[in-house]
Amino acid sequence: MTTISRPSAVVHVPPKSREGAEERRATWLLLGPALVFLGALSVWPFVYLLYASFTSYQLAIPIPIEWVGFKNFSRVITNARFLSSLGITLIFALVAVPLQILIGMGLALLLNGITRGRELYASLFLIPMMVAPIVVGFSWNLFLNPIYGPLNSFLKAIGFEPPAWAQSPDWALPTLVLVDTWQWTPFVMVVLLAGLKSIPSRVYEAARVDGSNRWQTFFHIVLPMLYPYLTVAFVLRFIDSFRVFDIIYILTRGGPGTSTQNLAYYTYDMGFGRFEFGIAGALSIIQLILLTVGTMLILSLAKRRDRAPAAGKALPPTVVSHATQQLQGANS
Amino acid sequence: MSGHVSPSPASASEGNRLMMTLGIVAKHAVIVLILALFLLPLAWLLLTAFKPYSELFTTPPTVLPVNGTLVNFSEGWAIGGGKGIGDSLIVSSISTALCLILGFPAAYALARRFPPHGQMSFTILSLRMLPPIVPVIGFYILFQELSLFDTYTGLVIVYTFMNLPLVIWLLAEFIRQIPKTYEEAARIDGAPWYRLFWDVLLPLSAPGILTAGILAMIFAWNEFLFALVLTGEKVITLPKALASFFLFQQPNWGQLGAIGIVAITPLLIVSYYMQRSLIRSFSVELGGR
């Protein structure tokens, strides 16, 4: 766990001498431009977003804009399409993400078991993550094409009757989950690989001396030590699962019917397909609330379970930073 | 490494070594097999890019192109891939430059003048977590008001907004790893803060700047939703070009495959080199391993 509580975490106290005032001015001079830029671009569009969601704002329709209060919100919440798109967003968050963590764990354990070539393998596994989601969607479209794609030809040749994947009502959503999992499992793998590498080999030796077998070692020693890394992987993937849009846009366009419309796609469709900016604005704000509450819930659950105070305290930024560095380093 | 004493140590350990070698070979075989299956869809994209039109729509499909051709690349360039590459390059490189210019001073201030992982860093990072669909409506109305819709400036501003939090945060993490002794030495020599910043820390941060810059570039290069909503006919980035050709025109998969391959190849090369530089630059953080 040395990587979690790094020695670099020394508190830097701003100097309080005569130069204090100048130092403070320098700080704001350095920080100011970025803060102004970020602040302006968070607040300004957000004001418009609020404005749209509480009025009868409709693009391209020259009707007088009226204040409607929470009417857009109540219209959204009582709509069946909202509930179904919420369900699909949750399927990405609560089915695809655990799947990614399970497979990512398997791959990380597999790669952790070898030494030579590990970096090369890891960087090859990471390729899907670097590819633009639009290109990912297009590749899978070719690969899964029911008539001209290689997979279905192969399945037919060995005697299966393959589904039409993205074009079939039953298989469209599983196909999207598959593609999302394909693209993001490597991320989980790299985070967990970093976690496995942080466990000193003497821990395994001590476990073996104490007579615990592989499974016991994994479940009682390795898994608890990986816990902060699992949390990081889960939180980051949970947050990102609300972003799924590109692969839906290119693989199913939300269809067949509305069977693969998640909240992001539904919002896009209301805003830029039907120009109902009031509804789309309300949907955006609902997503923001869901995402914030969900993330805080997961983090507080994780903290409660994590009894080691040092690790718990350092959980969000330090482990995230470590994991991100590992991710960007794409090293093992 | 076997813990128990066996009657004939030499032969037992030889057997163990054989078993271990076999085990390692088996593991490598499993990994290579998984990897091969895993990369199949991208391999298929690559093969498609080299197939002439006549080989695209056959059942069963030909695996390897029979009459391999490069014509898809030139045609893909002509139908809009070239414009897409140009626009993506313009938008992603300018926004990356802006991210670094705004982000490096801010990261320096956060790393050296605030407690580590202070509230400020976390607030900035949380902006990064926002799914693009949330701010896009507000940006759309704002851009209509300011006549920024379908302009390079508009997209550059959004991509800078999108990547700046991550750039600041990565650079701040990087600067925290740099020992303070360099700055202290310069300070004792009487250097003012801006000299510390410009002459001491900037050169030391070069690897971190490279990493953060490449990452911002990749995210801007791959971004789709903002480009889809906030631009029209004038600015057409590569992902948008690919999506609109695929969905709204008679698609020639070979040409689109060629565009796709051209879109991802630079990223794969760059990220491979980034990995090398990152292992070097973070070796301090990893305890010099």
Q: Which residues of B touch A132 (CB under 8 A)?
A: 221-222, 224, 238-239, 263-264
Where does the pLDDT of residue B251 fall: very low under 50, low under 70, confident under 90, or very high at 90 and above? Answer: confident
> How many domains does chain A divide into?
1
Q: Mark yes or no for CB contact A147/B110 under 8 Å.
A: no
The Cα–Cα gap between B108 and B120 comes to 13
Q: Mark yes or no for CB contact A45/B142 under 8 Å.
A: yes
Write the single-letter amino acid at A149.
Answer: G
Residue A296 lies in a domain: yes
Q: What is the pLDDT of residue B105?
A: 93
Tell me what the pLDDT averaged over chain B comes to. Answer: 84
Q: What is the pLDDT of residue A19?
A: 63
Residue A40 lies in a domain: no
Task: Please identify among residues 67-96 of chain B the ones whose CB lies closer than 8 Å to any CB of chain A.
Answer: none
Where does the pLDDT of residue B275 fall: very low under 50, low under 70, confident under 90, or very high at 90 and above? Answer: low
The two structure tokens encoding residue A182: 């394909």
Return the CA Rg of chain A.
24
Q: What is the pLDDT of residue A311?
A: 40
Q: What is the pLDDT of residue B126?
A: 78
The Cα–Cα gap between B263 and B242 comes to 10
With H, G, I as helix, E, B as strand and everything else as coil, classify residue A171: coil
Q: For chain A, say whether B225 makes contact (Cβ under 8 Å).
A: yes
Measure CA A270 to chain center.
24
The Cα–Cα gap between A107 and A87 comes to 29
Q: What is the pLDDT of residue B280?
A: 43
Task: Please identify among residues 109-168 of chain B the ones whose CB lies closer than 8 Å to any CB of chain A.
Answer: 109-110, 112-117, 121-122, 124-125, 127, 129-142, 157, 160-161, 164-165, 168
Q: What is the pLDDT of residue B199?
A: 87
Q: Mark yes or no for CB contact B133/A267 under 8 Å.
A: yes
Q: What is the pLDDT of residue B10?
A: 54
For range B32-42, the mean pLDDT: 94
Name the residue in chain B with its Cα closest to that of A117. B28
Per-residue pLDDT at B285 exceeds 80: no
Q: What is the pLDDT of residue B277?
A: 53
Q: Mark yes or no for CB contact B102/A33 under 8 Å.
A: yes
With H, G, I as helix, E, B as strand and everything else as coil, classify residue A244: coil
Q: For chain A, say whether B268 makes contact (Cβ under 8 Å).
A: yes
Interface mutation vs chain A, best among B21, B33, B137, B161, most A CBs within 10 Å: B137
Q: What is the pLDDT of residue B2?
A: 43
Q: Mark yes or no for CB contact B44/A139 under 8 Å.
A: yes
Q: What is the pLDDT of residue A299?
A: 81
Please, which residues bridge with residue B140 across strands? none
Cis peptide before A256 (omega within 30 of 0): yes
Q: From the CA of A305, how many Å to the nearest CA of chain B? A: 22
Q: For chain A, say whether B7 makes contact (Cβ under 8 Å).
A: no
Segment B240-250, tens digit of pLDDT: 999 988 888 77
Top-confidence residue, A203 or B274: A203
| Range picked from A23-37, A119-133, B34-48, B179-193 for highest mean pLDDT | B34-48
Residue A66 lies in a domain: no
Top-confidence residue, A9 or B176: B176
Q: Which of A22, A250, A284 is closest, CB to CB, to B137?
A: A284
Residue A45 lies in a domain: no
For range B216-242, the mean pLDDT: 94
Would you tell me how many other CB atoms lie within 10 Å of the CB of residue A269? Answer: 20
Q: Mark yes or no for CB contact A135/B121 under 8 Å.
A: no
Q: Domain holding A149: CATH number?
A: 1.10.3720.10
The Cα–Cα gap between B134 and A243 comes to 10
> CA neighbours within 13 Å on the CB side: how many for A61?
14
Domain that holds residue A99: 78-329
Residue A297 lies in a domain: yes
Residue tagged 């269809």 (tokens):
A255
Residue A247 lies in a domain: yes
The Cα–Cα gap between A70 and B191 comes to 58
Q: What is the pLDDT of residue A61?
A: 67
Would you tell me how many other CB atoms lie within 10 Å of the CB of residue A253? Answer: 14
Residues present in chain B in total: 289
The two structure tokens encoding residue A81: 């399409």
List CB contacts of B195: < 8 A, sequence separation 6 or more: B186
Q: What is the pLDDT of residue A24?
A: 80
Q: What is the pLDDT of residue A306?
A: 58
With H, G, I as helix, E, B as strand and everything else as coil, classify residue B51: coil
Closest by alpha carbon to B267, among A193, A330, A249, A101?
A330
Where does the pLDDT of residue B1 fall: very low under 50, low under 70, confident under 90, or very high at 90 and above? Answer: very low
Which residues in chain A come in under a pLDDT of 50?
Answer: 1-13, 15, 308-332
Closest by alpha carbon to A194, among A186, A206, A182, A202?
A186
Asked if residue A285 lies in contact with residue A53, where contact means CB atoms within 8 angstroms, the answer is yes
With H, G, I as helix, E, B as strand and everything else as coil, classify residue B70: coil
Q: Mark yes or no for CB contact B279/A331 under 8 Å.
A: yes
With H, G, I as helix, E, B as strand and everything else as coil, classify residue A17: coil
Q: What is the pLDDT of residue B190?
A: 85
Closest by alpha carbon to B90, among B28, B7, B152, B132?
B152
Q: Mark yes or no for CB contact B271/A330 under 8 Å.
A: yes
Q: What is the pLDDT of residue A247?
A: 95
Residue A155 lies in a domain: yes
The two structure tokens encoding residue A202: 């003497």
Q: Which residues of B touch A57 (CB under 8 A)?
A: 141
Would you tell me how many other CB atoms lie within 10 Å of the CB of residue B7? Answer: 6
User: Which residue segments constitute the domains of chain B, with CATH numbers given?
Assistant: 72-281 (1.10.3720.10)
Query: By CB neighbour count within 10 A (0-12 exposed, 13-18 middle, 19+ buried), where does A107 fall?
Result: buried
Residue A27 lies in a domain: no
Please, which residues bridge with residue A55 across strands? A67
The Cα–Cα gap between A85 and A264 comes to 8
Interface mutation vs chain A, best among B108, B133, B286, most A CBs within 10 Å: B133
Segment B5-22, tens digit of pLDDT: 445 555 667 788 888 888
The Cα–Cα gap between B224 and A133 comes to 8
Percent above pLDDT 90 for chain B: 45
Measure CA A180 to chain center.
10
